[in-house]
Every structure is written in C-alpha cells, then in structure tokens.
Structure 1
C-alpha cells in the first residue's frame, strides 16, 4: 500500500533516530535541519533533504504529516511561521505532529493557528531516548480528536510500539509529558544527591549504584545518567538545558492549575544552578559534578 511522504523538521538526537526508523521501514521521508552533520546522517539513512521548512512542506501531498522535533515553542513557531516557514505551504487536511516538550498553552495556541488554515495538529511529545526511538520502542503520548489520530495511525504505529492515547484534547499530551519529566528531574536530582553524599562518606559509587539498582531507591533515569557520570562521561546524550526547561515548564503548569508541590520547584532550581555553573551543554548527569562541589556543612 502506498503511503504519503512524511516530513521531519529537526533531525537531532531524537529526530534523527526517528528518521532512521522511518527510512528503514520504507517511508518516503523529507528532512530539514540546519546542522550539516545532521543533514549528512539523514541522507545516509535514505531521506531527501529540503533546504527550508517551506520547501519541505511543498514536497508533501494530500493527507501527509509533518513531524516537528525541535527544542522549544519559539523554534516551533519559527519553523512554521518564520522566514521560510512551513505553514505557508501546508494544505488543508495535512497534519502536524508536535513532538517537543512545550507548555500546554503553547500547544493549544499553535493548534488553533494551524486549524485556521485547515491543518490538523497532534499533540505528540515523546520519551525514551534515541536508542528506543531508533528501535520504535519510545513512548509517544498523543492527544487529538479521534479522527485525526485515526488518519495517522499507520505513521504513529511505525514510530512507536507504545503509542499512548491521552485524550482528544490537544494540550493534554504536553501536560502528561511535563508531569513525567518533572518526576524524571526530581529522580535525577535525588540520584545525584545521594551519590555525592555516598562519595563524601567514602563509599564506592559503582557498588552503591549496584545496591540502589536492586533496591527501593532505583529509578531508570538515575541508573542511566549516574552510570555515565560515575565513569566521568558527561558527553551530552540529553543536554542539561532540556530538563532545566522541562522542569521549569512543569512547575509553571502545576501552579497554573493551582498546585505547588514540595519537590518540583527545588529540583528545577538545581538544574538552573547547573546551567549557571557552566554545565548547560553537558549531559544532565553532570548534576553529580555540581553536587560534588557543595561545601560540607561545618
């Protein structure tokens, strides 16, 4: 069965993994990214390059989907409505999948603006990391009216074997992702804190992690990030700035709903402190380094 071409704007860690996944599955893929190294990777995977978002949008046919995998709401608006933006060439009946972690009100506003020209929007944040995205095992949280989801069901299934339908209300995918990422941030700060404490107590960190991973303190993100951090590997798989952004947005979303918990804001502040300490472009596991530097209490 023939399938319409798909466009991807943003072929970084997650977007590039999704490109490889779809190309391997035989999809006709058009990709736009400003980074030459990402362009080369997309071409090597079998994708066709577009020079700009609008050029990419012009390559899409009726019923096609445009997947946006950039960093934040400002970048989403830029690739859609900035100079050379895709929106000027999008056609009624096409669908935009919004995959970045952004504020629910931004998702809602973008969806309304797209609807003004007859373009559907699926609120589709994702989680799980590049390896799982490459293998089609990432978590994909989708929120959109049922007919819109049904229209892109084949594509969603190709992207993930774990497509979770949150609701028909665009924005609920973003809300769910922020809840998840706030917990991830809290868990990561906690893991870095206890390992920094264990080191100060003279414990072997690898052995301590072995115990934690088989005990009640285990968390996936703690194990994933702290294993690398203990080995001194801070090459960014997930930049510090991402959870800094996500925890900030999550705390703001909670407060907008009338909720202010005891841990989220504190975790968010730790990521902000890491940024201010010059760790913005390191892996977020570098929180261990930040907390190692805390002076002992007198």
Structure 2
C-alpha cells in the first residue's frame, strides 16, 4: 500500500479519497478550506472499514502531505488553485521526494501543465496530467473516466490508483498535456450537447408536450445521450445541486475555445454557448450544477421546465 498526498477534497476529491482509503492506502489530505478536508476524513472514518490498513490524516499545508509520499494527487478547480497547492508557498513540490509521482487530476492550462512537469523534473519526480470526468457520483462510486498523458512506464505505475478511482482509463498519448487537450474537447462537447437538450425541452414545454413524455422519446431514439440520461431526472426535479459546477464548465469552455481561436478554427455552436455561460456566471450561477443553464431558458421563455 502507498502513502498518498491528496490535495483538494471538494466535489470530486472527497469521493476519490474515500475509495483510496478503502483500498488500504495511507492518505494525507489537504484542502484550502480545512473544514472540507476534515469533512472528507470524517466520512472515511464513519463509512469505511479500515482494517486493511487504510488511513486519512488532515494536514495544514500541502508540503506536509508530500513529505515521504510516493504519490501526490492534485484535484482542484483552477490554475490558480493548482499552482497554490503544488508550487506556491508551502506547496507540495517543496516537500516532494526523489522518485515521487505527481498527478494533476484537475482541468488546467497547457502552460501550467508544462510548468508543473518542469518543476517535477527539477525535483527528481515524475509527472502525469490526468484530468477526470464522471461527476460527483462517479467519484464516489469509483466510476470516473481518466484521461492520462505521459510515458508508458509512468502511467503503468499509476494505474493501480486509477483503477481504484475510475472505471476506465484512457492513455491518450505519451505527450504531456494531451490529457488536458482531450478534456477540453470533452467538456466543450458536453456543454454544447446539454444546451441542445435544454433547448429541446424548452420548446417541448412551449408546445405543451409533457416533459416526461419528451424524456421517454429521447431515451428511445437517436436523441439519446449519456448526458441526457443522467441529467434529465435532476432537471425534472428542479435539482441544481452541483455534480459539476457551472463555473468550472465555464472555465473549461474558455480553455477549449482559446485553443481553437489560436488555430483560427471557428467553432460557432461552442462560441455561442460560451457566451451563455459568461452570462450565467455574471448572474451568480457559478456554484450551481451546469444543468442550471436551464434557468436562463426558463426565464426567457417565462416558464418552468420542471414537471
């Protein structure tokens, strides 16, 4: 069993910590809001049989988590947060040891990915970019999909952990940053697909088609999507508690389209959707699930999509 520094115990990280501890690993966990790390540790203590040797200990700074750890996993929501927990004052790389493996499971910029890889190399550590998808329930159930980039032997070393945290790991390539590139494409696609679904439900409501019937039709036609299957029950219940925060999808849309614009490739649907997310964030909707984009359409159509 391994000693793991785990940085970031929010919507996704808390479930990942629980699964790693249940598998017998020793975890030192850190969150910038300490109460969230303490809550994650309490969940492990209350729900996990630790007789196999697993443990969770909350630390006050990332550097303390990293000292003596074989793996350092960061799962935080932005470039600034990732920089802070890894490279900032008291960051994990100040305590990383020779031969350790640093894994970034957040969705971050390629510039930061390059910076992290160089910093790890300077400390004699290895690095993988390995962003995740699957939402809160996927993290809790160990059913994430992980997009990883890095050298084959380094990916193989991390694979036992990936198999605990996820149901499917894709080694995108050996080129660092390709995990991030793949994640940009994925989340841009998901944002556009969800917008189409929500607009379909809005039109159905306007035409007096019952939404439960519309959902049944979508589920049994070429209009079926995994995203629609997962999100529709929450939409019909008016439940916008975050499985994946709207402001994080907003950030990822900007990351994706920045690269498209650098390549001078027009992506018109995604560009329009990005503008809608700009508006939603400006209206304070960022902490809600990205399904809450439905509320913009509700207001414009002067109706509620819930049944």
Q: TM-score, normalised by structure 1?
A: 0.92
- 1:54 has 2:54 as partner: no
**Match of 1:8, SS?**
strand
- 1:27 has 2:36 as partner: no
Consecutive unaligned residues of structure 2, counting only runs of 5 or more, are 45-54, 303-307
Q: Aligned equivalents of 1:278 and 1:200: distance in 2?
A: 26
The one of 207, 220, 236 aligned to 2:242: 236
**Match of 1:235, SS?**
coil
Q: Aligned equivalents of 1:134 and 1:285: distance in 2?
A: 20
Deviation at 1:6, TM superposition (A): 0.8
Deviation at 1:295, TM superposition (A): 5.2
When residues 225 and 20 of structure 1 are mapped into structure 2, their CA distance, relative to the original with a 3 A threshold, is same
Q: Aligned equivalents of 1:95 and 1:82: distance in 2?
A: 18
- 1:175 has 2:181 as partner: yes
| Partner residue, 2:193 | 187
| Partner residue, 2:75 | 69
Deviations 1:87-118 (CA, angstroms, capped at 9, x unpaired): 11111211110011112232122212221222
The one of 114, 120, 131 aligned to 1:125: 131
| Partner residue, 1:109 | 115
Structure 1's consecutive aligned runs of 4 or more residues displaced over 4 angstroms after TM superposition are none
Q: Aligned equivalents of 2:230 and 2:162: distance in 1?
A: 26
Aligned length: 291
| Partner residue, 1:140 | 146
**Match of 1:286, SS?**
helix
RMSD: 1.7
* Native 8 Å contact 1:11 1:39 kept in 2: no
Deviation at 1:279, TM superposition (A): 1.5
When residues 294 and 44 of structure 1 are mapped into structure 2, their CA distance, relative to the original with a 3 A threshold, is closer
For residues 240-255 of structure 1, what are the structure 2 equivalents within 5 Å?
Answer: 240-255=246-261
| Partner residue, 1:12 | 10
Q: Aligned equivalents of 2:73 and 2:221: distance in 1?
A: 39
Q: Aligned equivalents of 1:156 and 1:287: distance in 2?
A: 31
The one of 79, 82, 85 aligned to 2:88: 82
Deviation at 1:21, TM superposition (A): 0.7
Q: Aligned equivalents of 1:263 and 1:118: distance in 2?
A: 44
- 1:93 has 2:92 as partner: no
* Native 8 Å contact 1:136 1:158 kept in 2: yes
Structure 1 window deviating more from structure 2 (276-285 vs 86-95): it is 276-285
**Match of 1:225, SS?**
helix
Q: TM-score, normalised by structure 2?
A: 0.89
Deviations 1:129-182 (CA, angstroms, capped at 9, x unpaired): 222223322101110112222332322222223111110111000000111111
Deviations 1:54-73 (CA, angstroms, capped at 9, x unpaired): 1111242xxx1100000011
Q: Aligned equivalents of 1:275 and 1:187: distance in 2?
A: 19
